[in-house]
Chain A
Amino acid sequence: MKKLLALLLALCMVFSMAACTSKPAEQPAEPAQPAEPEQTATEEPQQPAEPEKFVLNACIASEPETIDVSTISSVDGSTYVQHMFENLMKYQMVGENPADDPNMYMTEVVPGQAASYTVSEDKTVYTFTLRDDIYWSDGKPVTANDWVYSWRRLVNPETAADYGYFLDGIVKNAYAIYEEGSMDPSELGIKALDDKTLEITLEAPCAYFIEMCAFASLMPLREDVVEGNDNWTDPANIVVNGPYILTEWVHDSYLKMVPNEQYYDAENLGPDEIVWWLSDSETNILSSYQSGAYDFIESFPTDMIESLSASGDCFINPYVGTYYLYLNCDKIPSWKVRAAMTISVDRDNIVNNVTQGGQVPATGFVASGILDSTGQDFAYGVSELGAIYNWLSKTYPDADLTTYAGKCELAKQLYDEAVADGEWDPNTTVVYNFNTSDTHKAIAEACGHDWQTVLGMNITLENQEWATYTNGLGEHNFGVARLGWIADYNDPVTYLELLVTGNAYNYGLYSDASYDEAIASAKATLAGPDRDAMLYGAEETMFSEGGFPVMPVYYYTNMYCAHGLKNMGYTPMGYFFMQYAQPNQ
């Protein structure tokens, strides 16, 4: 018995010793410290003269896959990059509050590292002159060659960047380099005329090119820092040209940034430290916010939205994105059935009772927030009804498409016609695939319910985890499948080109020659009434006879909670800017 007790005690000691002595390598001494700046201040009363450090604690996502400028593709990764790097153009706060929050400002694209730019007469050659006072964080001057290197790296197939296609058809030779592999990256249409002058040649005029010059994947990079160093994004190695520099990265825990003293506007920056906490647990994120450890959060349980809104620090921003369903044109060959499905879903019910985040029922595929050349919201540019209903309202003038009951009536008529014409077997069971998520499931159930009750269709819901799900999309192995698309830039093409014949994202296998032609023409035309007409026409074609390959459900919104902060910036592309944030006492 004594031996047994001795063994037990020894085991306990081993456990305790192991637990006490095992300190993870590269861990900071006190990682919880950033969450409690007040404590630090109170523990050091001997330095009362020193102003209190302003540490901003934010949590917008879990660990980013990467913060490498060329290979990032996520909104959170891009947000971190936007704080560390600055492009030719940048997002600057303007005096508009997107939500009811007076502390959050919209942003517009203005020159950043570029002092100015000129455009050739044919609008295909942009010449940027860089500012004189721009330096990397190690003190070396920022030069035009830093963009040349970065852009070539992005389109180089060997980089295998998610956004490698981003310059396709826009910057000269990008398509041939990235998609065809027939040219060397050095032949990309970008060159440094001298250290401070950058010339970019386009394939054709591009209405949104200047806006693209603020995009995270096109930030400048220093060849001597990046080349041959797989760990160049580590805090010890990273060299940046933006307002903040990364000083600590505890993986799956937090990223810490401090002001970059070499930044030309360093003296006006806000936080002394920005700590981006990395978490995917909504419970923990909300608890940390409520306990005061976080000042700003972007995700929290849906069922808490109501009480958070009531507390006065939960706000809803516009977000340029559409939640939509692919209706597989092979599995549901009758356009009348697809149209019937599209208009028979009660979108108000979905946004009010399922998602509950202030989302807006979709009336077209192009997300609300994308503007035409006159500054009009493209989603409502042609009529109040929206693109889904424009052609139907002209073709079926007797139908009342302003009410849900009227839409259901027309839906039933179209469905019955398809059945009567032998285009559709009413006994067919349509498989609706969605990736694992309570919200996607609830939306699928709501849609399935509407299709069953209004049209009498047979629907089977199938839930798949993400990787299996996306694989199935690529194999067009579904009847109905969900997806969300966030705009890459403010132009309708970012949506409409997805459904061009042969496009990798045309999962529903839609094909219409006139549609393809309209998009091709619009891409080669400068912004203006003609181009607007082409794009509006293309979207109407998508929702007309032979079409309805997608069923837009709602336009996204971006919810956040913030307390004790002011001077935050936001762009409807989903990026928040904290570099000029101030404590709001």
Chain B
Amino acid sequence: MIIYILKRIGAALLTLLVIMSITFFLMNAIPGSPFLTEKSTPQQIELANKKYGLDKPLIVQLKNYVVNYLKGDLGTSLKMQEGTPVKDIIFHQGKFILSIKLGLWSLAIAVLIGIPLGCIAAYNRGSWLDGFLRVMTTVGVAIPTFVLATLLLATFAVKLGWLDTISGSLESAKSMIMPILSMSFYYICYVAKLTRTSMLDAINQDYIRTARAKGVKRNIIILKHALRNSLIPVITYLGPVTAGIITGSFVVESTFSIPGLGKYYVQCVMSRDYPVIMATTVVLSALVIFMNLVVDVAYKVVDPRITLTNKED
């Protein structure tokens, strides 16, 4: 297992280098400049390019990025917070932590509510409860996040005045409720649907029938035998989703005025802030790669029959 993980880390570093190169060439391939405004002149853009080294050949710029990254220098922002080190923007200003905080809470809520709901629906298949949950989860996956977020904002913050409209840095439970609910609702519903389907599939297996025949209690059957096997598709789904959910949501962060990385990531691409694009892409890619590794290890924990390494390892 350790050798497998070490190998994966080596591959991850190589992957990051490839991602950096692709991102660098793609962002330079699209038209525009961080210095373009309604009132900027070609002379100004030329001067600014010179000031920030954007007049150098692309390959030299890429080399500079890689060398600086190895030294831990992520560059400085050209546009969004002109002159501010990108490392400060992502880490010291708390954007990354804030998005992770929002994402982890949303993910935890999605898993802790979604999986039990799926089990309950499967366990009560055909009943009114199953019907209700099916309708709710179908509606849940169909409602766009911005609609739900706006609805929550209008109801609980404006009409009732129970919650804050500005969630800010998510310091209090009051400020966290609406963003987390907006962000996790879709995932709660999707995970519940997924769990129900795979649980129903598991329930119809022979070994469950055998357990029933042997007089094992229903709760034990569900929790001990069926749930474990039905979690594999859920984990497969949760892997990439986890990376996505904890890297922030443009819609939720915008709607609730949360200064997180998700919003920033979209804005930096729009304003061609090259060093910020590079840094956020690398940081988020590293996170995605890490989460995929965690999922692979989780497979092994859930289903011991799965082998992660070749026999020679």
Contacts and interface: CB of A to CB of B under 8 A. Distances in A.
B32 A467 contact: yes
A161 B47 CA distance: 9
Interface string B280-307: 0000000000000000001001100000
Contact of B38 (A8, A250, A283, A470): A470
A244 to B, nearest CB: 21
Q: Is the interface of A mostly helix, strand, loop or mixed?
A: loop
Contacts of A253: 168-169, 257, 259
A572 to B, nearest CB: 18
Interface string B34-70: 0111111111100110010000000000000000000
Interface stretch (A46-54, A186-194, A286-294, A560-568): A286-294
Interface in B79-134: 79-84, 89, 91-95, 97-98, 100-101, 104-105, 107-108, 111-112
Contact of A4 (B171, B256, B272, B301): B301
A65 B79 contact: yes
Contacts of A179: 43
Interface stretch (B136-144, B152-160, B185-193): B152-160
Interface residues of B, number: 73
B157 A287 contact: yes
A30 to B, nearest CB: 6
B197 interface: no
Q: Is the interface of B mostly helix, strand, loop or mixed?
A: helix
B254 interface: yes
B264 interface: yes
Interface string A137-169: 000000000000000000001101111110000
Contacts of A32: 164, 166, 168, 171-172, 175
A15 B228 contact: no
A253 B164 CA distance: 14
A529 interface: no
B263 interface: yes
Nearest to A252: B259
A73 B161 CA distance: 37
A65 B30 contact: no
Given A66-B81, A284-B153, A35 B166 contact: yes
Contacts of B28: none
Nearest to B40: A162
A468 B58 CA distance: 19
Nearest to A292: B161
Central interface residue in A11, A27, A281, by most chain B CB within 10 Å: A281
B175 A15 contact: no
Tell which of A252, A290, A466, A468 has the most Cβ of chain B within 10 Å. Answer: A252
Interface string A473-492: 01000000001110000000
A288 B154 CA distance: 10
A22 interface: yes
A582 interface: no
Given A160-B48, A291-B161, A467-B270, A280 B264 contact: no
A58 B42 CA distance: 35
Contacts of A12: 108, 111-112
A288 B175 CA distance: 13
B38 A484 contact: yes
B169 A283 contact: no
Contacts, number: 189
Contacts of A513: none
A421 interface: no
B157 A24 contact: no
B100 A504 contact: no
Interface in A301-318: none
A205 interface: no
A277 interface: yes
A463 interface: no
Contact of A251 (B30, B40, B81, B271): B81
B32 A15 contact: no
B254 A291 contact: no
B42 A504 contact: yes
Nearest to B30: A468
A231 B168 CA distance: 23
A25 B93 contact: yes
B255 interface: yes
Contacts of B44: 160-162, 164-165
B105 A19 contact: yes
A279 interface: yes
B10 interface: no
Contacts of A250: 93, 168-169, 259
Nearest to B49: A160
A63 B81 contact: yes
B48 to A, nearest CB: 4
B23 interface: no
B156 to A, nearest CB: 10
A465 interface: yes
A121 B5 CA distance: 82
A251 B89 contact: yes
Contact of A470 (B32, B153, B166): B32
A224 B196 CA distance: 67
Contacts of B108: 11-12, 15-16, 19
Contacts of A266: none
- A8, A11, A251, A504: residue with the most chain B Cβ atoms closer than 10 Å: A251
A35 B95 contact: no
Given A65-B79, A277-B166, A471-B31, 9 more contacts: A25-B94, A162-B39, A250-B169, A279-B257, A281-B254, A284-B255, A291-B157, A470-B32, A470-B37
Interface of B: 30-33, 35-44, 47-48, 51, 79-84, 89, 91-95, 97-98, 100-101, 104-105, 107-108, 111-112, 146, 149-150, 153-154, 157-158, 161, 164-166, 168-169, 171-172, 175, 223-224, 227-228, 231, 254-257, 259, 263-264, 270-272, 298, 301-302
26 contacts: A1-B227, A4-B228, A4-B301, A12-B108, A25-B93, A27-B94, A32-B171, A65-B80, A66-B83, A157-B47, A161-B44, A163-B39, A165-B41, A250-B93, A253-B169, A279-B166, A287-B157, A291-B157, A291-B165, A293-B164, A466-B32, A466-B271, A467-B272, A470-B37, A471-B33, A504-B41
State the 8 A-B residue pairs at the shortest beta-carbon distance, nearest first.
Answer: A24-B94, A467-B32, A252-B259, A504-B41, A471-B31, A288-B165, A160-B48, A281-B254
